[in-house]
Amino acid sequence: MDPGYTFVLILGKARSGKTTLEEQYLRAAIESGRAVKIVDNKAQFPPGSLPGGYCSEFPGVDNIEDWLADLLRSQWEGDLCFDDMDLYSDSFVRKGSPFRVLFTEYRHHRISIRASTRRFQEIPTLARTNTTHYALFRTEGHNMREAIKRELGQETLDKVPTKPFRYLLLDRDADTAVVYATRARATKTRADF
């Protein structure tokens, strides 16, 4: 089994820079020759915005399980990016959901996962325990801070940046925590005007 497949959970308040980090991961993946898929209900990556002809797709909340089951069956390999993953939280808990297969067997399927959310609490334990990395942008609200503290400890919470567009990258295997900043987005979208 290749240890190179990763599951990065990107967490942060509204407009903290999550999708911008996803864009950077997507560009790096495409440049190194990996296939990508971007599940994004806001269509923030229109055709032409990324190299290789890649763009947002949105099968819809009602169809996401069929879409994901088909993807896993097709033996597609690459980096699978879910923007605002908490949209699908109802599916995570359902017995037989392909999300449960994805979260536990992504390496076996030769898929890496990048997923963003504003709502840490809605990401199930099954997903959290299978992450390899957390990217923690600035947070908001008592509940989210408590959830981070419970899951990752006060020491980690204290290191989460308070400025926008900076994030704490936790590598859970290497047990490291480093602060990075993103660059401004190359893709201009509605959010930028």
Ligand X SMILES: Nc1ncnc2c1ncn2[C@@H]1O[C@H](COP(=O)(O)OP(=O)(O)OP(=O)(O)O)[C@@H](O)[C@H]1O
Closer residue to Mg ion in complex, CB, 98/167? 167
Among 193, 191, 192, 189, which residue's Cα sits nearest to residue 56?
Answer: 189
Give residues with Cβ within 8 angstroms of 79, minimum separation 6.
25, 26, 29, 34, 35, 36, 37, 111, 112, 113, 114
Helices 98-105, 64-73: inter-axial angle, 10-degree rounding: 50
Residue 20 interacting entry, from ligand X, Mg ion, none, C-beta within 5 to 8 Å by type: ligand X
* Count of Cβ atoms closer than 10 Å to residue 182 Cβ: 20
Q: Which is nearer to ligand X, 120 or 165 (CB)?
A: 165
Please report, as ranges, the residues that interact with Mg ion according to CB under 5 A.
18-19
> Toward ligand X, which CB reaches closer, 71 or 144?
144
Residues that bind ligand X (CB under 6 A): 12, 14-20, 118, 165, 182-185, 191-192
Q: Which is nearer to ligand X, 17 or 98 (CB)?
A: 17
State the Cα–Cα distance between residues 63 and 178, nearest whole angstrom: 37
Q: Which one of ligand X, Mg ion, none is in contact with 191 (Cβ closer than 5 to 8 A by kind)?
A: ligand X
